[in-house]
Chain A
Amino acid sequence: MLPAPQARRLSSLLVEAIKECTEEERKLEDELKSFRKLLKPWNPNAREKPAKNGATTSRTEHASSYEELQELALLNRTLAKALRIRQTHQSVFEIKQIQPHTSDNSTVPTNAGYGIVEHPQAASYRDKPLEDVLSRTLWSGSKTKLAGASMNNTCGKVTASVCKERYLSSHLADGVAGKKVATHAVSSRKPESCTLKLPYKTKQDVKRKSTSSTVGKLVRGSLHTPGLVKTAAIQQTKRSASVDRAGNRVQQSRLWSLKTIPRTIASHNSLNLEDTDIIQRTVTPRSMQISAFADTAPKMTSPVISQQRANCMKETVHLSVSEQNMLQNESSSMEKLKLFTLQGSGSTLKLPSEWRKQRCRNARLWGQVSASKTDEIQKASFMQNIQSAFHSQLPPVSCAQIEEQLDNIYELYKCIDQYVRTDFLLNSSGPLSYQHEHESLQILGRCQDTVSSLIQQIEQFVDAEMFWAKFGSCWTVNFKKCKCFGGKSAPLLFYSTLQELKEMEALRFQVQTLQRQIQIQKAMAEELLPILFSSMPLEQSISYLYRAVYSELCEGGEQFPVLVQDNIPE
């Protein structure tokens, strides 16, 4: 055990050193982050920051015309394809019961709520595999939880919104392709759904396209707890995020607006009417029909609904699967167009013109500043007058000057000390020749002179310090000022290989570490050795202390000595 004051001093010293290291490391980490960003591929023409995963802001308004053209082309292509596919599938467009294939392991006894419905239009059994595909892709990992068959309004609404959200996000994950498709799907079903009313107003906005399709693919009759909703939302967000990387920014804004929906859903355990209203208000007139269905789902034994849903789902799935590849191709080519690496084309970079202008001006001004010579006469005479009017007993050196010169004196002292101890001539014990003796006498004389002058200086300093201390300035301000040359701009350092730079940094780090270590070593020796000396009577515990102190002081804390009890009787 160590007594408190010394231990506290040491521990505070060590804690300070650790803090210093951590602080530096943190700063370096920040810098390194920006460096890594630079070295990865990035877009030099982007006017805005590249969108982060899942955290996009609504900046789509800035999309360059180039991007929009690209996207339009893509959409047109997908539209054409969708139309083609629709033609082929129109004939097999039947309804069969849509079991809520929401999970692989659920039993759905109360599917009856939605009923097995026979629809006039015969649904082909081809629906099923598609639905399976859909369910697998969409509902992976989610469990079905069916509330009581009596789907009360709230549940139904939850379902509606929940499932809608699911569809939304899943749809988005599948890319743009689905959008157009679904719109068409919806439009195709217009005649069947005309019996239902549109209770809600619609809101036309940019997000229309994507929402319409997803809503169109609406909901199965399964209920999900909000918790599941959340996990699904997260899953979907992740998938959407991965698509984001393909670089379609316009899409992202839409994604963003839709992603907010899942979160709102997740946060409520039971949605009330208002919420569903809000959600549904973002839906377009066409899809409104479907949402209306969803809302009234519990009330209907819905052959109609199931049919729409089946249609939507099937089409979407089919198309999305087929379109996904296409989308990927598109996005990758876009990617190649936009991204840029420093490695590849760093030499083509150009600094912005305003920057260059200001830099020129800046350099010119600094040149003028350093070249400016003022009329020194007035300045000097003022200083003379004021210094002469200072107190007569003021010491000639100030604390600042003392600190500056103390290091120099220390260096000289060390030099002489080392010389005196190690020089061959001075230290040889045997008799020397007359010449050598004289020489060594000369050397000693020279040393003595230097040392005396140093002592004189130091005495001056000591007197000055006594004055200043008495004067009350013992509270020297916590100067962390580096005494290095800081007047002019930092000089340029040229290096030619990575090895040089690394070596230089390593050496500097070593120097700094050694300086710190020396300081710690001195402090520890000062504090710990006396403790050992003084606590010698207590022999039992001292060996542990001894061992610890030995390792700290003599081995830098890295190795331990071995203490052996020598109690073998002689």
Chain B
Amino acid sequence: MTIKEAIAALCKVLVGIRGRDGAAIAVNISPEMFRKAKFNRNEVTTEFWKLLHWLLKLVNVDRSSEVLELADQIKYVKAVVCYYGYGFMDFYQLPMDGSLGSRDLILAFSWLLQRIHLLEQLLNLHRLQVEDVASLCMCKQTLPLRPMEGSDLQESSHPVEMDVRYLQSLHGKLRFRRRNLYSAQQERCSALYKIHLYTKGCSSSQSFDHLSATEARLIQDHQQCTEFVQLLEHENIQLEAYLEWKRLEPIYWQWMESVLSAKLQDTQEVLNVNFTTVTAPSFNQRENCKEPDAFRKTNKLYTELLKLQSEIQDRKLVKDERIKEQERSMGDHMGWHEAVFLTCNLEQKLAAVQARMSQERRRYGQVRLALRINSTPTPFRSKPPTAQQHISSVSLTATEMISQLEAEATLLKKELQELQQLSKEGLGEILEHLDGVICIPPTQR
């Protein structure tokens, strides 16, 4: 159990990670690389940059497949590492040509390994999906608004006006597309149901007794079957490599501590520099980027919370006044200590919200579908639960999900209606300024 074995195991895992299209990593990873990085040798710096870039792109499900220059790759890595909150300032000052800093890179890499559970995420990401999945993701995903491109900036100098009818037509197109999508989804449901129903009895799992559509396809199409078998084999090799790495992991972390202390010794003075001098020049080269959405959201939320606070403050004052009046008028008949406070259902509500949030923490992005036609919701286990079943012991029923989704849908509908109401009020204001025009809203359907 030497450090070399541990690093070799890590390298094996890394090498086996496949990208989106089955592309393997383009970097030559070896234990030598790590060893040289410890001593801050410069030959391996570019390799480390490339490695980090590739891994982070995979983890962030970054679909862009453009091949970037080394400088762009370095920028990307720095941005992501900053996003996760890495705190060594000299990392961000590493040169953009990849000539220095292998030790910093290896530290950042190890930090990321733990911070975002890099290997585990990557293993799960490209896991072979054999069952039929449905996506139940309910988190608010916003459409990415592209920042203003160069061509747009040009156009804004002589602005071309757009007709509102164009927007209306786009909106209509969107509605049409949605209807198509809906019908396609419903068709998928019925197809899956049929397949599950017809293949009852030839199970491949202990929890349910039918084939999934993918499995049925494997029987139909032998070529695909061999492909899948190969993929599965590859995954198994990956998993074995990962288990080996897990066994040897403690040695690696011990070794990393030595790397860290070496670094701290060398750069003791530099670390606690006033951060304003650390305005990373590489970052400031960036073009005028818009404030990201997250920041805007935070600011908005902040203002709203402040508003709410002041309102609560006012109301409290009013209530205080009233209570004092009542007390004065009533004299001392009822002491405050006798006031029986009814169950404060605000507490309940807050508790419910907290529970909902923690439940939402267990929100399921994807679920595997399985047909079970029986009355009892609890799955029937004929064998004692093995380790396998422990994993899949978290199972849901469609009825649960339906109620959850219904609740979410009603909330969202209400929100949308509120927004529409707000707009109506705004438009009503505008209408007042228009002389002689009456607006008759359409009849409610």
Contact = CB atoms under 8 A, between A and B. Distances in A.
B97 interface: no
A28 B181 contact: yes
B176 to A, nearest CB: 9
A314 B301 CA distance: 90
Nearest to A447: B312
Nearest to A426: B315
B127 interface: yes
A350 B433 CA distance: 75
Nearest to A545: B164
Contact of B174 (A18, A375, A402): A18
A397 interface: yes
Interface string B60-89: 111000000000000010011011111111
A489 B124 contact: yes
B398 A504 contact: yes
A52 to B, nearest CB: 14
A518 B398 contact: no
A455 B306 contact: yes
A563 interface: yes
Interface stretch (A180-188, A220-228, A525-533): A525-533
A104 interface: no
Interface stretch (A82-90, A199-207, A274-282, A378-386): A378-386
Nearest to B147: A475
A105 interface: no
A18 B170 contact: yes
Interface stretch (B14-22, B42-50, B251-259): B251-259
Contacts, number: 650
Interface in A439-469: 439-448, 450-452, 454-455, 458-459, 461-462, 465, 467-469
A9 B293 CA distance: 14
A408 B357 contact: yes
A21 B178 contact: yes
A509 B190 CA distance: 16
Interface residues of B, number: 231
B188 A32 contact: yes
B121 interface: yes
B60 A481 contact: yes
A458 B305 contact: yes
A196 to B, nearest CB: 50
A550 B120 contact: no
Interface string A249-292: 00000000000000000000000000000000000000000000
A337 interface: no
Interface in B195-212: 195, 197-202, 204, 207-208, 211
Given A451-B312, A505-B185, A513-B178, A554 B424 contact: yes
A459 to B, nearest CB: 7
Contacts of B382: none
Given A343-B198, A549-B427, A413 B304 contact: yes
Contact of B402 (A361, A413, A437, A504): A504
Contacts of B368: 490-493
Nearest to B240: A365
B23 interface: no
B162 A492 contact: no
A443 B145 CA distance: 41
Contact of B438 (A21, A473, A563): A563
B440 A18 contact: no
Contact of A32 (B168, B191, B208): B191
Contacts of B445: 559
A565 B435 CA distance: 9
Contacts of A66: none
A338 interface: no
Contacts of A5: 156, 159
A426 B318 CA distance: 11
Interface in A482-541: 482-498, 500-511, 513-522, 525, 529, 532-533, 536, 539
A55 interface: no
Contacts of B436: 565-567
A349 B357 contact: no
Contact of A369 (B160, B239, B257): B239
B319 interface: yes
Contact of B326 (A358, A437, A440): A437
Contact of A366 (B130, B198, B391): B391
B298 A476 contact: no
Contacts of B240: 365
A490 B374 contact: no
B392 A496 contact: no
B28 interface: no
A261 B101 CA distance: 67
B229 A550 contact: no
A532 B181 contact: no
A68 interface: no
Interface stretch (A38-46, A95-103, A303-311): A38-46
A200 to B, nearest CB: 41
A501 B86 CA distance: 44
A285 B311 CA distance: 103
Contacts of B415: 514, 518
Interface in A358-410: 358-359, 361-372, 374-375, 377-379, 381-383, 385-387, 389-394, 397-403, 406-410
Contacts of A194: none
B141 A502 contact: no
A470 interface: yes
A38 B136 contact: no
A49 B53 CA distance: 41
Given A389-B264, A484-B363, A507-B405, A470 B279 contact: yes
19 contacts: A10-B167, A38-B213, A347-B198, A351-B211, A355-B225, A372-B246, A410-B301, A442-B344, A482-B137, A484-B138, A490-B368, A493-B395, A498-B193, A502-B190, A503-B398, A505-B188, A548-B165, A553-B427, A555-B420
- Closest 6 pairs between A and B when the two form their complex, measured CB to CB: A398-B85, A472-B283, A390-B87, A484-B365, A346-B198, A4-B159
Given A385-B260, A446-B347, A558-B175, 10 more contacts: A35-B188, A39-B195, A359-B232, A393-B274, A434-B339, A492-B394, A493-B396, A494-B396, A508-B136, A525-B423
